[in-house]
Amino acid sequence: MKHTISILVENHAGVLSRISGLFSRRGFNIDSLAVGETDDPKVSRVTIVADGDEHTVEQLEKQLNKLIDTIKVKALEPQELLSRELQLIKINATSQQRSEILTICEIMGAKIADISATTLTLEISDTTQHLERFQELIKPYGIKEIVRTGVIAIQKGAETIKK
């Protein structure tokens, strides 16, 4: 089962390697890891999507909490989280195909980020499932390159990680 875990950490040198090192040495599998500064520049927020059963996640939270740099760890429940991932896709596109692709983008909520004589670079930000669906639709044109940020997530409603 997939779990989304949000972690607030001190924005110190080496903190990311401490977190990723913990995953590999405790045998936890990470699907994605995204990290960035928060409104407080001394604090970074890490979002990890990991695979495992209830016991694994409990252990993961405890081990993350044990790291000296960790301020807060929260496993977000699937029904209460809002998740997004940004994806850039470069596909083959002749001038004849462009309008067709544009239609797909419009329906799926993607944007054209760049254009060349033979390619289009598409930008889409949504849930992982939505991104995968979009990828399926675009595949027939020939995908040249894909880059994704990894999932970031936040709680729905008024609740925050600090509370």
Partner 1 sequence: MIKAAEAMVKCLENEGVKVVFGYPGAAICPFYDELTKSDIHHVLVRREDNAGHSASGYARISGKPAVCIATSGPGATNLLTAIATAYADSIPLVCITGQVSTDQIGCDVFQEVDITGAAEPFVKYSYLIKNAAELPRVFKEAFYLAGTGRNGPVLIDVPVDIQNTLIDFDYPESIELRTYKPTVKGNTLQIKRVCEALKTSERPLICAGGGVISANAAEELRDFAEKTKIPVVSTMMGLGIFPTEHPLYMGMLGMHGVKTANEAVSKCDTMILIGARVGDRAVRSPKFLAKTTKIIHIDVDPAEIGKNIHVDIPLVGDCGNILEQLCAHVECSERAEWLAELSQIKNEVPTENETQGYVNPKMFIRKLSAKLPENTICVADVGQNQIWTCNNFQFKGGRFLTSGGMGTMGYSVPAAIGAKFASPDSEVVAICGDGSFQMQMMELATIIQEKLAVKIILMRNNRLGMVRELQTIHYSDNQTAIHIADGNPDFVALAKAYGIEAERVCTMAEAEEAIEHLCNAKGPYLLECNVWRNETTL
Q: Binding residues for partner 1, per CB under 8 A?
A: 10, 13-14, 17-18, 21, 25, 55, 58-59, 62-63, 65-66, 68-71
Least distance in angstroms from the C-beta of 160 to partner 1? 17
Residues 6+ apart with CB under 8 A from 56: 28, 50
Which amino acid makes up residue 111? K
% helix, strand, coil for the chain, step of 5:
30, 40, 25
Question: Whose Cβ is closer to partner 1: residue 39's or residue 136's?
Answer: 39
Question: Whose Cβ is closer to partner 1: residue 5's or residue 124's?
Answer: 5
Least distance in angstroms from the C-beta of 18 to partner 1? 6
Least distance in angstroms from the C-beta of 21 to partner 1? 6
Least distance in angstroms from the C-beta of 7 to partner 1? 11
Question: Whose Cβ is closer to partner 1: residue 43's or residue 88's?
Answer: 43
- Could you give the residue ranges of the DSSP H alpha helices within 38-146? 54-66, 98-108, 128-138
Q: Say what the alpha-carbon torsion angle 35, 72, 82, 5 is, to the nearest 10 degrees.
A: 70
CA angle 52/84/17 to nearest 5° reads 55
Question: Whose Cβ is closer to partner 1: residue 15's or residue 151's?
Answer: 15
